[in-house]
Amino acid sequence: MYSQRSLISNLLLLIALGEQVRAVKYDYLLEYEEIFVDCREPPENSLNIHGLFDISNVSLNFNGDFVHVTGNFTSIWDVEPTDRIALSVQTFQYKRGNWEPTFFSYNIGDFCSRMYGPDEHWYDFWTKHIINDVKSKCINTPGTLLILEEYDVNVSFDIRVAGPSLAGLYAIVAKFEAIDKYNRKRPTTICFEVRGEVVKKSK
């Protein structure tokens, strides 16, 4: 059954809108070495994931269909707790030697009001597992320690798809901007990509 809500499965659901429906089992393989890579086309003054969080206390272990996650991380982005955080997400698929945009993209004007929202794409594999009470601190309060429970992310999912195979290499690009109370954008933007390959299970 389709139960694992994840960024990529939502993406695939969207791509999969169509008539002829069949069930295929897919695996999403994250790139092992570095899950969060630098943006291919970073905005000016941008920092990568390491400008947002110190993740040196987080460990990710790949184990078949699962990624086992444990540890904690600290917000380090030099912005103010009163800043509004805007998020933009774009997804690309690698085709014929180029990264081509898919139609899955969105902008969130106030990320902080939604960071812990149970309907968000990232909830099941990230914020649901933050166990200390730091909900009011969002990601705009440098020095905040966010503690994760130990959990597994199931990266295998069934999906009803139509038409061409969804297998392939994908990149999800996330950009965070901070806007101060006078509505001015802070000088630094956070930009990082998560890359992974969707493979069809041979079963």
Ligand X SMILES: *[C@@H]1O[C@H](CO)[C@@H](O)[C@H](O)[C@H]1NC(C)=O
Q: State yes or no: residue 26 binds ligand X (CB under 6 A).
A: no
Q: State yes or no: residue 56 binds ligand X (CB under 6 A).
A: yes
Q: Between β-strands 53-54 and 22-30, what pairing exists: parallel, antiparallel or unpaired?
A: unpaired
Tell me how far apart the alpha carbons of residues 1 and 22 are, in angstroms, rounded to a whole number.
13
With CB under 6 A as the contact rule, the residue among 10, 102, 105, 154 that binds ligand X is: 154
Q: CB count, 10 Å around CB of 186?
A: 17
Coil vs helix vs strand at 66: strand
Q: State yes or no: residue 126 binds ligand X (CB under 6 A).
A: no
Q: Which of 105, 155, 110, 146 is nearest to 128 (CA)?
A: 146
Q: CB count, 10 Å around CB of 160?
A: 14
Q: Which is nearer to ligand X, 13 or 179 (CB)?
A: 13
Tell me how far apart the alpha carbons of residues 13 and 175 are, in angstroms, rounded to a whole number.
23
Structural tokens at position 138: 């969002």
With CB under 6 A as the contact rule, the residue among 4, 10, 88, 127 that binds ligand X is: 4
DSSP 130: B
Q: State yes or no: residue 34 binds ligand X (CB under 6 A).
A: no
β-pair partners for 147: 72
Q: Which is nearer to ligand X, 86 or 148 (CB)?
A: 148
Size of the site for ligand X (CB under 6 A): 18
With CB under 6 A as the contact rule, the residue among 10, 48, 72, 90 that binds ligand X is: 72
Q: State yes or no: residue 131 binds ligand X (CB under 6 A).
A: no
Which span sits near ligand X by CB under 6 A: 64-72, 90-98, 100-108, 176-184?
Answer: 64-72
Q: State yes or no: residue 31 binds ligand X (CB under 6 A).
A: no
Binding site for ligand X (CB under 6 A): 1-4, 54, 56-57, 65, 71-74, 145, 147, 154, 156-158
